Structure 1
């Protein structure tokens, strides 16, 4: 997703592209995924399950779940799963697949898969109660009010100058005054707090600025000296302060449903921040990575995190230090993308993940 404030104010381990192409070629020539030996023949989906967890019951490579999923051609959203659905393991036309049991067992799954069932119309299913790919509660904060924008654009937006009550802290129901580019009377605007800057490790260039929306307001008047009056309508857990920036609320659009899949990015990346932590990330944590929409990252992309191998002494060669190879340490899934940065959820971690850990599409095993 690209976020440009220009429009709003007016109304180590880098992999060459050839490496990614080699990975893509390997995907095309790869054999079918292997079903786990202990995969359940019958599984009842429970509330609180995630698509990733269910996929992991059947595959060692859960990102390949679509290759074993028997989609129902009579359903508009054939990949949705709901609590109390009964998943069964079937061999259909020589392939081992997982499908939803409609009461006819594997024969019914085969009918759905081949489209031989008689239906007067395609059934439309609701996304609302479906099983999410990952726990939505873990990422909701990073979906609702937190964005990454261009810092140069951010610094050109109007700022909160003062409040009507002349207090330093204001909240919902108060009036504040902004200075800068005149706002539009009757227009809703967001009030945003400056957060952390993101730096590209290779170049040390600032590639993004994290901002958090703290309030929404309605413009009631605009003066000729560039001062606009903003009546605060809602606040989001934080007070409005002098210096906060004001611009049109950005539509941080996330697809209603996204599915884990191997990333097809133009280069490798790395973890550049562990959110809400200063040290390391474990399963269930959120991290920021230096791959965004400009590098081809999309919601649902799965990447393997690698940790740099330790230095050891070669006692057979005059105690020379030797760096051991990087080893896979966990997996992350992108859920929100910006130009050069994305937020990702830690799906698994054999070792605690840290800033600087390298990221590549998962090996297609």
Structure 2
């Protein structure tokens, strides 16, 4: 096991990490944002453990966990330069000043300066690495949705290249097989292969806006179509399901952003749940759903929406309808029951991770900007 030395370089690295962590928890008064009020039963402290998320930690202190960037002094620019906290650190609730801090309230170090963190000699240096930092949300729940085309919008499907033939007329392809592709490549050389599936219908317009897509593997360009040929030559680099003629290709997306700062959308958004990632008709906490709004509607990565069940229409038992006939019909208010964290966005659709909910999420449910 590696031990820390007392050299200047190691000392600087430790102090830098501590400074960054303190900056991440720099507090503002709770009353500065009414939506970011502290819970009446908030604990005095929380010891950060492996498996914690920033959402979980914030939920122990705040009425609305998603607004922790406001209370901890972050903004959207911090996505590009994130500050981290790590297992073993203690987050304190300084009730006197209405803030969160890494220093115990009332101690000599609690003076607004970055703390000097004393690390035991047996602590590994790589424990300060990014991989050990506390994530904003459960990363494992969304990993497949960051890199695989599980939803493909109508325009993207129409322009996608497709497999038109295979080496030696093979019906199903495996790694190393050659395939022949027709369509525009737009300068890309690495592609994901998918198979279009069920149509996704916008609940508001009843029009098809996207398609579910079964990810089947990846392929790499070997030789682009030249004079006298109509197809590009590819080689299959990965096959996770049966791949064959008719499957489509899209360029491999860039490395996804994994440092999330939750925030309300820049402008009001009212979305509807279009589809579930699971085979069920319902979704629960830490499951993924697709909504019918995207970047063109004001959503971006990190946006938070609130779930609502549409209010039911009921009969007023003591009323009289028009001209005394029948009973009056009353529409009950929509009921807010949870929150949705947007983590991948396309033009007209987006993936969201279901956060704390008090009821199952259903297709057609409303998800709109926090009030």
| TM band (smaller chain) | 0.7 to 0.9
Who is 1:41 aligned against? 44
Q: TM-score, normalised by structure 1?
A: 0.77
Q: Which moved more, 1:78-87 or 1:173-182?
A: 173-182
Who is 2:296 aligned against? 294
Who is 1:16 aligned against? none
Q: Is the 8 A contact 1:182 1:227 kept in 2?
A: no
Q: Is the 8 A contact 1:70 1:98 kept in 2?
A: no
Counterpart secondary structure, 1:239? coil
Q: How many residues align?
A: 318
Q: CA deviation at 1:133?
A: 1.8
- Do structure 1's residue 85 and structure 2's residue 98 form an aligned pair? no
The separation in 1 between residues aligned to 2:332 and 2:41, in whole angstroms, is: 34
- Do structure 1's residue 362 and structure 2's residue 370 form an aligned pair? yes
The separation in 2 between residues aligned to 1:229 and 1:191, in whole angstroms, is: 14
Q: TM-score, normalised by structure 2?
A: 0.76
Q: CA deviation at 1:106?
A: 5.3
Counterpart secondary structure, 2:68? helix
Q: CA deviation at 1:148?
A: 4.2
Q: Is the 8 A contact 1:44 1:85 kept in 2?
A: yes
Q: What is the CA deviation profile of residues 117-176 of structure 1, one whole-angstrom value per residue up to 9, with x for unaligned ones?
A: 9xxxxxxx7533221122111111111212544424433433212221322110111111
Q: Pick one of 221, 246, 251 that aligns with 1:248.
A: 251
Who is 2:102 aligned against? 100
Q: Is the 8 A contact 1:127 1:257 kept in 2?
A: no
Q: What is the CA deviation profile of residues 259-301 of structure 1, one whole-angstrom value per residue up to 9, with x for unaligned ones?
A: 2222334431111112113411111111111121111112221
Q: CA deviation at 1:183?
A: 8.9
Q: Pick one of 321, 338, 359 that aligns with 1:330.
A: 338
- Do structure 1's residue 170 and structure 2's residue 173 form an aligned pair? yes
The separation in 2 between residues aligned to 1:250 and 1:44, in whole angstroms, is: 37
Q: Is the 8 A contact 1:70 1:99 kept in 2?
A: no
- Do structure 1's residue 207 and structure 2's residue 209 form an aligned pair? yes
Q: CA deviation at 1:38?
A: 2.3
Aligned CA distance change for structure 1 residues 161 and 63 (closer, same or farther; 3 Å)? same
Q: What is the CA deviation profile of residues 164-199 of structure 1, one whole-angstrom value per residue up to 9, with x for unaligned ones?
A: 132211011111122345898x93333232234333
Aligned CA distance change for structure 1 residues 35 and 150 (closer, same or farther; 3 Å)? closer
Who is 1:52 aligned against? 55
Q: Pick one of 238, 252, 260 that aligns with 1:234.
A: 238
The separation in 2 between residues aligned to 1:263 and 1:106, in whole angstroms, is: 39
Q: CA deviation at 1:324?
A: 1.2
Instruction: Note the residue ranges of structure 1 that are not aligned, 5 or more in a row.
Output: 1-27, 118-124
Q: Pick one of 355, 362, 366 that aligns with 1:347.
A: 355
The separation in 1 between residues aligned to 2:110 and 2:170, in whole angstroms, is: 65
Who is 1:69 aligned against? 72
The separation in 2 between residues aligned to 1:242 and 1:109, in whole angstroms, is: 65
Aligned CA distance change for structure 1 residues 267 and 37 (closer, same or farther; 3 Å)? closer
Instruction: Tell which has more relative contact order, 1 or 2 (C-alpha 8 A, sep 6+).
Output: 1
The separation in 1 between residues aligned to 2:280 and 2:196, in whole angstroms, is: 19
Instruction: Note the residue ranges of structure 2 that are not aligned, 5 or more in a row.
Output: 1-30, 75-79, 118-127, 321-326
Who is 1:132 aligned against? 135
Q: Which moved more, 1:333-342 or 1:213-222?
A: 213-222
CA RMSD of aligned residues (A): 3.1
Q: Is the 8 A contact 1:275 1:285 kept in 2?
A: yes
Q: Which structure dedicates a bigger proportion of its chain to strand?
A: 1
